[in-house]
A and B are shown apart, each in its own frame.
Chain A
Amino acid sequence: GENVEQHPSTLSVQEGDSAVIKCTYSDSASNYFPWYKQELGKRPQLIIDIRSNVGEKKDQRIAVTLNKTAKHFSLHITETQPEDSAVYFCAGSSGTYKYIFGTGTRLKVLA
């Protein structure tokens, strides 16, 4: 069935370093790939997304890349700050009603 695998499950980086989280999807029809940030006790918040007609998208310190051939996409955070510490979820959607979420990555930025 449809599946989105996300790695790593936990990631610790020093403040100022970069962080990369990777996701792989199985549904070839997937064409929309959002990333969510969830702080402790709060709702997931959409931070960036990419559609299948684009290979890369950037918004200040965060960027997402998509490789449709390999069916994987990645979140890149540069110059990490303590407030970037959170759980990050990737997801895939084929433009229908369902989102398939990854299992999450707990990012810790060490000061």
Chain B
Amino acid sequence: SQTIHQWPATLVQPVGSPLSLECTVEGTSNPNLYWYRQAAGRGLQLLFYSVGIGQISSEVPQNLSASRPQDRQFILSSKKLLLSDSGFYLCATTGGDYEQYFGPGTRLTVT
């Protein structure tokens, strides 16, 4: 079965600072990978998804970017954080029958 790792678990960053969140997946090869953001008390907003190395699709134009340098590694970045970037960032992958599984998440607070 697949295991998703995310770090850090929590992060407090000032406005204007850079961001790098990492997600790695074990137990599968060539997975579909996703980044979601969940604002406090809200639903799941799809930010990026990737079907292979170097293949990134953006769902929401904003100050975030994603990269997939290795098959099972997905990175979310920002050059300058905004207050509105605060939230719970979830990495996800899909199983063999399209079921989607989430990682433990990173809780980001921008101050």
**A-side interface residues toward B, CB under 8 Å?**
32, 34, 41-46, 49, 89, 91, 93, 95, 97-99, 101-104
> Given A97-B49, A101-B43, A101-B44, does the pair A43, B100 have CB atoms closer than 8 Å?
no
Question: Does A97 contact B99, Cβ atoms closer than 8 Å?
Answer: no
B56 → chain A, closest Cβ, in Å? 12
Given contacts A44-B90, A46-B99, A104-B42, 8 further A-B contacts (CB under 8 A): A32-B99, A43-B104, A46-B100, A49-B99, A93-B100, A98-B46, A98-B49, A99-B100
Chain A residues near B99: list those with CB within 8 A.
32, 34, 46, 49
Answer whether A97 and B102 are a contact pair too, CB < 8 Å, given A43-B90, A102-B43. no
CA distance A95 to B98 in the complex (A): 7
Whether B32 contacts A44 by the Cβ 8 Å rule is no
- Tell me the minimal C-beta distance from A85 to chain B in angstroms: 15
- The answer to whether B44 touches A89, judged by C-beta atoms less than 8 angstroms apart, is yes
